[in-house]
Amino acid sequence: LLCYGTNAQSPPLQCMLTGHWTNDLGSNMTIGALNRKGEFAGSYHTAVTATTNAIQESPLQGAQDRTNQKNQPTFGFTVNWKFSDSITVFTGQCFVDKEGKEVLKTMWLLRSHVDSIQDDWKAT
């Protein structure tokens, strides 16, 4: 995910999660301000899906690591998709690249609802 509006001439002192983000597939999210515990809320609007349902902006909840006060923090968040019976968890780190752009490098895991334990194999 790449941040909108980063000033490449003056690299930020710290990579900040708060703001608007987009990825190379056109998905975008907004992350609100962190509270004292390092928790945040926001929204995610995916550009890709495996369902035929209409895509809807979905809520996200997350936390940034507050024990390590380094300038490129780790974080995680959960998206509860409004348009499907699934939830995705993301984990990653916020980086400042050589050009001063803030970049989120993430991994994700999606869990879909299944009707029986026998179908568990195809749910994640």
| Cα–Cα distance for residue pair 92/103, rounded to 1 Å | 10
pLDDT number for residue 39? 95
| Cα–Cα distance for residue pair 90/119, rounded to 1 Å | 23
Three-state secondary-structure class, residue 109: strand
pLDDT number for residue 29? 93
Domains of the chain with CATH codes: 2-77+92-106 (2.40.128.30)
Q: What is the residue whose two structure tokens read 């009707």?
A: 115
Q: Is 39 in contact with 18 (CB distance < 8 Å)?
A: no
pLDDT number for residue 13? 59
Which among 94, 105, 100, 90 has a CA at the least distance from the CA of 46? 90
pLDDT number for residue 107? 95
pLDDT number for residue 21? 94
pLDDT number for residue 6? 45
The count of residues in the chain is 124
Mean pLDDT, consecutive 10-residue stretches, the chain (124 aa), reads: 46 77 90 94 86 82 80 92 91 90 92 93 91
